[in-house]
Structures are given as structure tokens and as C-alpha cells.
Amino acid sequence: MTFKPTAAQVKIRDSEEMGMLILAPAGCGKSEALALRVQGMIRRGVASGPRRILVATFSNRAKDNIRERLRSYLTPVELRDKVTVINFHGLSARLYRSHAGAIGLDPKWNLPESDWVREQCQRAGLNFGQSGAVDKLLQRIKQDALDDVEALRLIEAHGNLDAVEIEKLRVREQQLTYDDLPRMAELILARDEVADLYRAHFAAVVVDEFQDITPQQLRIINRIGAGRTTYAGDSAQGIYSFAGARPEEVLARITDEVGEVIELTESHRSSPAVLAAVNALVPLTRGTALTCAAPDTWPSGGVAAMVRHRTAEDEAGWVVKLAKAVLSRAPDQRIGVISRIGSRRRFADATFAAEDGMEVHRWDDGVLDTDTARRMKSVLAGMDAAAVLAADDSIEFMRDLAGFHEVQDPADRLALADALSWALDLLTQGETPAAVSNRIRIGNNSTLLTKPGVHLLSGHAGKGQQFDWVVVIGLEEGNVPFFEAKSEEALLEEARVLSVMMSRARHGLVLSHAAAVPALTGRIFTKEPSRFLTADLRATLNDANELVRWFEAAPWAEIAKR
């Protein structure tokens, strides 16, 4: 079927304004609009001669997604010769390798091939809280354009001795981390002669998911393409403050920079019933209410419901029954079972694990390429967990077992390093090597995690994805919003996390909560429904009995085709 752009997408493609902001809530055709935007600029000769268009993304998944969309609108030669698609860390690494000498740095320092700070925390035997404090401090300080001497001075002034020792070790080992790369890139681009090179090379810049970038990353982009950048995203989907993102601040700066703002308000993803529920959260998220692009094409208009359970165990059993009911009628459907945090989802995980014959994908399991999975399974098969945990350096012990230093390809080294660190975390939590091995799935995030069946995931992991059905579980105070969220800004982001979880749904959405939830210690806690289940939201939702009646009457043959 030939895709027909909407009027707003055509306007985005044809506008000659170089600075543009595209406000695009979930499911409104943002990726299509960006691909059309790049096509329009190339057709108008913006990237003439050797000049190119830089497309910068937040993640590898987003990079792969936009590249795939561009293939539908550009010739292979145009994509090869006129467009550079890269994520922010890749751009920073390129700047460092090419121009570190411009600020007196050694370009041969080691680029990150794993979460180096996390590994040092593991090596030092730090607990979860101590590791988190180190990571947050280093990340926060390195959000500014500081050299290594200035950064260390601020770390020492804070008084976290673990962070001080890790930072000193990093410098001694000439190692860069994922927090150091953008810091170095900003320092390098502060040199006009370097910034001028990149401004001359890139005629225009496109930034996907502006709400996910940090002010530091925005400053990097501004040094390359200020006034010539197209930004796309939705501040109401900004849920990465823990990674340094500041959606409101970034949006304000972008709005001052650009010459044109275009808003997409039609959803091409979700049914009218799902959209009504998502729209009910707009007063909490400061987002935009959406209309359904083709409401008559959704069988029975879709469905959104709320279910209350006595216990979290009852909830888990009910969700399994719901999944069976969907998959028995439409086997190719994808069902996302999403919790704000993974520990609240453990009841559903255990109940699904006990089911035979149901295809279940747990997103926080190790999803590895074939070679890495084979190597990991071989290592785990003969592993003595006690010996690993008793080793002076558990990470290096595991790397020796896996033959890590024999692996030459950088991508393979990164995959194996991440897999070994993931396995060590589970071993530290008491998992056996056999249990860790059983949690390894072979595939990749663009194939395995788009398969039919049940997908178990946390709220942040599903951003950018969609499911035919979404069941949001654990909608209780303390989980949604998370108990640590106290400030107005933190509660705003918690509401946005809920909105992101809900807006993954296409046909149907179920919001679920329990009156009693056992803690990890076994103590039973009485829970109140989330404050986000407002009267306006409840008014859009069916109850459990109405959901059953909808199931019985729904045209499942049509649902399966859509």
C-alpha cells in the first residue's frame, strides 16, 4: 500500500524554513515526517556538492529506525552521499578521535566499550545505593564543559571518596566513559576552527526525540547547526531525567531558536478507546490531546478498561488469562505487560514462566546475538559461581573465562562486555549460572522483541515501541508515582511515564492495580490506587465485566487483520 502523507507532513517536507520544531506525540507519524523532511531538503538542493545532512538520534534503536524510514524516500546514492545518521555518543566519539589534539588531548585514549563506571563499582564491591550515588555524581558534574582537572576538583569537593577513586583510576587508565564523550565533544566544538569545519560540512541538522537529549547535547548541536536544525519530539514523553534530560528547558531553548513550529495531533497508532484514556492524562502531563486519524477503521472502536485485584498474585493470574484469551482469538497479536519498575512485575513474570506453550519475552533478560549467546552459554555451563564472586576481580575473572581479550571486533567486544556484566549482576543477586543461562535469548531487539506473544517490560524500556494490547500493572501509590518522586517536577515526569506506557497500545489498554502487594521481604503491604487514576481517566475506562462482554462480542477476525 502506498503511503499518503498528511497535510502536516507535506508542510514539513516542503517548508523552506531551516529551523523547525515538530511537536509529535506518540503515534502521530514523527519518523515519517522526519524522513519526508530530509527528502524535501535534498530535493531542494540544501545539501549541495559535498555538504550533507546530519541526522542525530538518542539511541541506536532510533538510529536504525530513522535510517529504515529514509530508505523509503531516498535513493541509495542519496542516502549514502547526502545523509549522515548517527547517535549522540557516536558523534561525540567522531569528534574526539578527529580533533582531540585541538584541545591538547590524546586521541588514542580508550573509547567506552562497556559501562566502565558500573564495572569499577562492581570491582570495588559497592552496593546498589553506593553505585548509584557514584554514577549520579559523575554524570551530573560531567554535564558541563569541564576539563579533567576541573571535573576532579568538583568531585573531590563533593566528598564521595568512591567517586574520587574511580575518576582518578579513569584518568590513569586513559579511559573515556559515556559521560566523558559529550563533555569532550563540547570542549572540542568550543574551538571555532573545529566548529567551522562541521558547520561547513553539514548544511542542515535533524534531531530526533528532542525531549530525551541533555542541555549539553543541545549545546553540541547548536555549535554545528544553530538556526539550521529540525527538532522533533514531544516534551510530554520526556522520561529520562535520570540520564540528564531536561525536556522543559530544552524545549524552551529550541522554541527561541527555530523559525517555524508544526504540531502533529492525529494518532495513527491507537484506537479511539485507547486515545480517550491517554487524553485524560493531558492535564497531568502537559501534553496535547490527540484525535484518531481513522476512527471508523478500528473494530468495535477498541477498548480501555480498569481492573482491581485483591492481591498482586491474583493480578498476575488474571493477566495470564487475559493473554490466553487474546492469543486464542488472534495468535499474531503482541501483548505488552508493563510495570513502572521491574520488581513490581515479578509476580507476572513468575506466573507466565510457569505457563507451557505460551511465547513470552522478558525484555530485561539477556537478548544476545548468536555468537555472544553461544559464548555466554558455554562459559556459564562450566562456571563455579562461588569462585567468580570470591575472585579479587570478578569482572576480569569472567572475562578470562569468556576469552574476552581474544575478541577483536569492537561491536563484538561491547556485546560480550555487556552480557558478562549483566550475568555478574544476576550471580551477585543469588542466581545460579544455569538460571542465568536459561534467561539468555538469541536474537536482537529489532527482531525478537517484535514477535507475537507476551512481552514483559518496564515503563522506560517500551518507549518508542507499540503493542496490540497493553496491560499496565501495579498502578498503586508508591509504584506509580514512584515513592521517591516528591517534587512537582518529579511527579510530572511520573505522570509522563504512565502516559508513555499507556500510549504503546493499539487496540486495547488495561490498567490494573492490587489492594495488597508483598514486599521482597515477604511482608504484605496494603496499597491505594494511584493518584493518577483521576475521575476523568476512570470515566474513559470500562470495568472488568464490560471488558469480558467486549471480548465476547468483538470481531476478532477484523482485529487480527489490523
**Sign of the dihedral defined by the CA atoms of residues 407, 124, 429, 481, in that order:** negative
Contact 232, 34 (CB under 8 A): yes
In percent, the amount of the chain with pLDDT more than 90 equals 78
Amino acid at 428: T
CATH dotted code for 272-363+445-561: 3.40.50.300
Q: Which residues pair with 517 in a beta bridge?
A: 525
pLDDT in tens, 18-65: 999 999 999 999 999 999 999 999 999 999 999 999 999 987 778 888
Contact 198, 98 (CB under 8 A): no
Give yes or no for residue 446 having a pLDDT over 60. Answer: no
d(CA 224, CA 189): 8
Enter the DSSP assignment of 528: P
pLDDT in tens, 98-145: 999 988 989 999 988 788 999 999 889 898 899 999 999 999 999 999
CATH 3.40.50.300 assigned to domain 7-91+186-264? The reply is: yes
pLDDT in tens, 156-215: 999 999 999 999 999 999 999 999 999 999 999 999 999 999 999 999 999 999 999 999
The model carries a pTM of: 0.88
Which value, to the nearest 10 degrees, does the dihedral of the CA atoms of residues 424, 426, 432, 435 take? -120
According to the model, what pLDDT value does residue 444 have? 63
In percent, the amount of the chain with pLDDT more than 70 equals 97
For 200, the grid coordinates are: 561547513
> Other C-beta atoms within 10 Å of 224: how many?
20
Angle between helices 215-225 and 247-257 (to 10 degrees): 20
Between 374 and 441, the higher pLDDT residue: 374
According to the model, what pLDDT value does residue 1 have? 40
Rounded to an integer, what is the distance from CA 94 to the centroid of its chain?
Answer: 23
Residue 112 has φ and ψ, to the nearest 5°, of: -65, 135
Coil vs helix vs strand at 355:
coil
Give yes or no for residue 445 having a pLDDT over 60. Answer: no
Amino acid at 9: Q
pLDDT band at 411 (very low <50, low <70, confident <90, very high): low
d(CA 386, CA 391): 9
According to the model, what pLDDT value does residue 372 have? 86
Spell out a b/e string for 542-551, using b for 16 or more CB atoms within 10 Å of the CB, else e: beeeebeebe
Let me know if 51 is exposed, middle or buried by CB neighbors in 10 A (0-12, 13-18, 19+). Answer: middle
pLDDT in tens, 527-540: 999 999 999 999 99
d(CA 228, CA 199): 10
| Cα angle: 195, vertex 141, 209; to 5 degrees | 60
d(CA 193, CA 539): 59
d(CA 155, CA 403): 35
Closest CA to 209 of 362, 390, 60: 60
Amino acid at 48: S
Closest CA to 233 of 465, 557, 464, 522: 464
| E strands present in 127-256 | 202-208, 229-233
Residue 238 has φ and ψ, to the nearest 5°, of: -80, 105
Contact 204, 225 (CB under 8 A): yes
| E strands present in 317-369 | 334-339, 360-362, 367-368
Between 304 and 451, the higher pLDDT residue: 304
pLDDT in tens, 479-508: 999 999 999 999 999 999 999 999 999 999
Closest CA to 284 of 543, 28, 530: 530
Region of residue 346 (phi > 0: left; psi between -120 and 50: alpha; otherwise: beta):
alpha
Spell out a b/e string for 514-533, using b for 16 or more CB atoms within 10 Å of the CB, else e: bbebeeeeeeeeebebbebb
